Structure 1
Amino acid sequence: MAQPDPIPSMAIRDAATVILVRDPATSPRVLMGQRGATAAFMPDKFVFPGGAVDAGDATVPLAAGPGEVCRARLAGETTGATPDQLAAAAVRELWEETGQCLGRPGEWSDAPDDWSGFAERGLVPDASPLSFFFRALTPPGRSRRFDARFFIADAAALATDPDDFSRAEDELIHLSWVPLGEVRALNLPFITRVVLAELAQHLPSTAAPARVPFIRNDVIDGRVIWL
């Protein structure tokens, strides 16, 4: 496979996003939330849970990491974060922004502060339900730039009540399961619309796709590369 041109790394942060799908085979719904009007990045937009990778994500004790196919793709295309670090960030962002947990029963006595509530539930993070689905680079000229990896997962893998958002932080409001046929009526970022189009073709499967689209919005060009 031909490798893409190097991506300028200045001011670009690795990020992870979770596309959580409920009832994918019957009446698919995706978990969405709205960013605040004063948010520095994508204000007022409805988005999937996600955010920047933290250095501490590299030390998270995953019960299981992403599958072999996803791991190989992430390892071959990453700009710095490891596959497990990206997956841990996805699990953490889902937990922080929605209160939902991808985890397995286990003891985690030394969990850092941002994972303390997760550990108090008697859970250790589990990234095995996540499948690497999409990658996109924020275009130049934006207030912040991210190299975002989108992971898809079936909500049946949650260790928590999918309707309970009481443990969510306040970064996203109006958290809800939106029917796939209605989600395009929301105020969505352009890239989210592109991802949703891919999702509609991929469902009812939530497994790793045959190939992963990578939208390069870099200073070189705007190519789509298939990973």
Structure 2
Amino acid sequence: MPRPSQQLHPHRDPVPLRPAATVLLLRDTPQGIEVLMTRRSMTASFAPGAYVFPGGGIDAADALAHSQSTRRATQGDLHLTQAIAAIRESFEELGVLLARHPDGSYATTADIASLDRKAPFAAQCKERGLTLAGDQVFVLAHWIADRDLSRRFDVPFLAARMPDGQSPVA
């Protein structure tokens, strides 16, 4: 281990980790698999201009929405909360909604257009009889940002199939 005088940067305690979730939305096409990415604004405070998968911080409301989501028998509370956060972020950022009607059909473009991307997410879905498809979101990988970064995230990379008939709108 180098002496403190030999380190490139002075020691600093790492900033706290912020729980987040990101999702790879996949679509199978005749030309092969498509993966949805978006580009961050050049004025963003974190990773300006970077190409990213939709996602963001986990909100307290995400953990409170378990009763509005389907889940796999093996899906624990933490993974369900992460899935709900990813579903919410996909809707807020790109207008993609992983939610189903009681008959099992995914939300339509008309359903999506009737929702406000800035209003409380789970409550709007519940009002319209939509159930979040948490059981269709799977953990792919997990990343924790380097301790020397000024903003740090604890992020599972999740994967889900893009619902048929939906297209992203930034």
State the TM-score, normalized to the length of structure 2: 0.71
* Amino acid aligned to 1:63: S
* 1:99 counterpart = 2:103: no
What per-residue deviation string (whole Å, max 9, x for no partner) do you get for residues 20-57 of structure 1? Answer: 11107851111110001111111100100011111111
Aligned to 2:70, the other structure's residue is in SS state coil
Aligned to 2:35, the other structure's residue is in SS state strand
Mapping of residues 1-80 of structure 1, within 5 Å = 11-23=16-28, 27-60=32-65, 61-66=67-72, 68=74, 71=75
Aligned to 1:113, the other structure's residue is in SS state coil
Q: Which structure's CA Rg is the greater one?
A: 2
Q: Would you say the 8 A contact 2:24–2:160 is kept in 1?
A: yes
Aligned to 1:86, the other structure's residue is in SS state helix
* CA RMSD, Structure 1 to Structure 2 (Å): 2.7
Question: 1:122 deviation in Å?
Answer: 4.2
* 1:153 counterpart = 2:160: yes
Matched with 1:184 is none
* 1:114 counterpart = 2:120: yes
* Unaligned 5+ runs, structure 2: 1-12, 103-117
Structure 2 CA distance, aligned partners of 1:66 and 1:28? 24
Question: 1:67 deviation in Å?
Answer: 5.4
What per-residue deviation string (whole Å, max 9, x for no partner) do you get for residues 121-175 of structure 1? Answer: 54221111111100000112223101100111122xx2x732252xx4xxxxxxx
Aligned to 2:150, the other structure's residue is in SS state coil
State the TM-score, normalized to the length of structure 1: 0.55
Mapping of residues 167-178 of structure 1, within 5 Å = 168=170
Structure 2 CA distance, aligned partners of 1:135 and 1:24? 27
* Unaligned 5+ runs, structure 1: 1-7, 76-81, 107-111, 169-227
Q: 1:135 aligns with which of 133, 138, 142?
A: 142
Structure 2 CA distance, aligned partners of 1:114 and 1:18? 20
* Amino acid aligned to 2:90: L
* Amino acid aligned to 1:84: L
Distance 1:67 1:144, change over 3 A: farther
